Amino acid sequence: MRFYAALSLLWVGIAQADVSVPSPDYDVKTDIAETCSACHGLRYLDLAQGYDTPQEWSHLIASMVTLSPARDEAVSRYLATNHPHKPSKAPTLVPGSTNIVID
């Protein structure tokens, strides 16, 4: 009886395993292209100010989509390496109160 109980616990553990862990032939660029373009174009990567660390990219990604920890790590590392912070794209902060009209 104990054997079957242990076997059933093993099966439950396997069934709950993270099936979205990247395989050895995982292509992070393809993952980014498919996942990101589901909601917006990839041109945003070139237009955005970018980030220097995987942690900063991970924080931004988490505001848009939920990835497995392994995918998040791979995507965040790729983006930090290939789309770092671009100072020229950073917003200009204006001190004091300001009224802005966008047409």
Per-residue HEC secondary structure of 49-67 comes to CCCCCHHHHHHHHHCCCCC
Please state the separation of Cα 48 from the chain's center in Å.
15
The Cα 27–Cα 75 span in angstroms is: 10
pTM: 0.66
The reported pLDDT for the residue numbered 63 is: 96
The two most distant CA atoms of the chain are separated, in Å, by 74
* Cα end-to-end distance, the chain, whole Å: 73
User: Has residue 52 got a pLDDT over 60?
Assistant: yes
Determine if residue 57 is left, alpha or beta; phi over 0 gives left, psi from -120 to 50 gives alpha, anything else beta: alpha
Task: Report pLDDT digits (tens) over 6-25.
Answer: 444 444 444 444 445 567 77
Q: Residue 38's pLDDT band (boundaries 50, 70, 90)? A: very high
Q: Is 40 helix (H, G, I), strand (E, B) or coil?
A: coil
